[in-house]
Amino acid sequence: MTTTAARPAEAPYVSAELYAEVQAFYARQMSLLDGSDIDPVAWSQTFTEDAVFGTNMQEEPDVGRAAILESLNGGLKHIHGQGPVDFRHWFGMVDVQEQPDGSLHTRYYALAMATPQGGSLKIRGHMLCRDELVRRDGRWLVSRRHLEADGLPA
């Protein structure tokens, strides 16, 4: 996935409508994983059926909603297996570049943080994220996501 064909500083800005929709999409998407009423299946449905989800923490990306959901459930088991915790994802510093076919390439930062019940907040890590978003039936879906956790060898 090439999201940097144009140097970001030179690329045109997307419309305010698109920029706001992307921000709202991310808020809603990640709310499905956070807090006490998480809904992993609904979260997986914010990806296309054939979405590709890769990270710098694994050799091969997950391909398809079922595989993405399976990886997520593994991660949730790990996080929530250590006792009740409020987990939160923050996305910020969002850049959006519209492609000729109407899809969007985004680049943003993510912070993962958690507060165990009765404990204090801990920032768990920072990631650089890149998505390809496509519109299906009027809604945005993620067709590709790549996460690079900070602090790992490139």
Residues lying near its own copies in the complex (CB under 8 A) are found at 7-9, 11, 13-17, 19-21, 23-32, 34-36, 42, 45-46, 86, 88-96, 107-109, 111, 113, 115-121, 123-126, 128, 139, 150-154
Helix (H) or strand (E) holding 132: strand 122-136
| Residue closer to its own copies (CB basis): 46 or 143 | 46
Least distance CB 42 / its own copies (angstroms): 6
* Residue 70 CB contacts under 8 Å (≥ 6 apart), including other chains: 62
Secondary structure of residue 152 in the 3-state scheme: coil
Least distance CB 86 / its own copies (angstroms): 4
| Residue closer to its own copies (CB basis): 3 or 144 | 3
* Residue 47, token pair as written in the block: 């990806």
Least distance CB 59 / its own copies (angstroms): 19
Cβ contact 65:80 at 8 Å: no
Least distance CB 150 / its own copies (angstroms): 4
* Residue 96 CB contacts under 8 Å (≥ 6 apart), including other chains: 14, 18, 19, 22, 104, 105, 106
